[in-house]
């Protein structure tokens, strides 16, 4: 059986000099306001993994009111979601992610982020695709008020 899942996440920019993207620190003119490390790519992807498995959403396991997750590296959220899939006999086939923002630019970091995400998912790098788009300067993303990500994951069980 194969199943698909989708995820979406947004964080507002705030004080700071970097954003976490796919587990990597990317220099930026701002940071993000978040309870955890605010990694939008990993939050969207964790929701996609949980969605594919019919396992709810990230807030069910890692509530943003829980002091245990203050400043937490979001890779641990994704690893936990993947471990839940494995318990149900599933493996990840591929993931496709889209980063939505005016800045930072993804190009210089794309390869490293793909590798980081592939490692977290336990798949080959070519099973992870990473795209970026702007919103043509429209809306809160276009005004550089924050950063968003969308993710789709396909899983299978024999
Ligand atoms: Mg989030």
pLDDT in tens, 24-39: 999 999 999 999 999 9
Is the N-terminal amide bond of 102 cis, ω within 30° of 0? Answer: no
**Model-level pTM greater than 0.85?**
yes
Q: Please tell me the predicted confidence (pLDDT) of residue 71.
A: 86
Residue 41 has pLDDT above 90, yes or no: yes
Q: Which CATH number does the domain housing residue 15 bear?
A: 3.30.1330.50
CA–centroid distance, residue 158 to ligand 1 (Å): 32
pLDDT digits (tens, 9 = 90+) for 10-19: 999 999 999 9
pLDDT score of 9: 98
pLDDT tens by residue, 141-152 = 999 999 999 999
Q: Long-range CB contacts (< 8 A, 24+ apart) of 57-63?
A: 62/36
Q: What separation in Å is there between the alpha carbon of 30 and the centre of ligand 1?
A: 16
Is the CB of residue 141 less than 8 Å from the CB of residue 135?
yes
Number of domains making up the chain: 1
With left for phi above 0 and alpha for psi between -120 and 50, is residue 115 left, alpha or beta? Answer: alpha
Structural domain containing residue 131: 2-157
Going from the Cα of 48 to the center of ligand 1, the distance in angstroms, rounded, reads: 13
Residues with CB under 5 A from ligand 1 (ion): 9, 43
C-alpha of residue 86 to centroid of ligand 1, in Å: 23
Q: What is the mean pLDDT of residues 126-144?
A: 98
């Amino acid at each position: 059986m194969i199943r698909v899942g989708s995820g979406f996440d947004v964080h507002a920019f705030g004080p700071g000099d970097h954003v976490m993207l796919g587990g990597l620190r990317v220099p930026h003119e701002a940071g993000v306001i978040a309870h955890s490390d605010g990694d939008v790519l990993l939050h969207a992807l964790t929701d996609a993994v949980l969605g594919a498995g019919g396992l709810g959403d990230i807030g069910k396991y890692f509530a943003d009111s829980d002091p245990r997750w203050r400043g937490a590296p979001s890779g641990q959220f994704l690893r936990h979601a993947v471990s839940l899939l494995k318990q149900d006999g599933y493996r990840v086939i591929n993931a496709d992610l889209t980063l939505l923002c005016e800045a930072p630019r993804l190009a210089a970091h794309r390869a490293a982020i793909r590798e980081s995400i592939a490692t977290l998912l336990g798949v080959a790098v070519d099973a992870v695709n990473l795209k970026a788009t702007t919103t043509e300067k429209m809306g809160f993303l276009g005004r550089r008020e924050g950063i968003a990500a969308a993710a789709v994951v396909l899983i299978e069980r024999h």
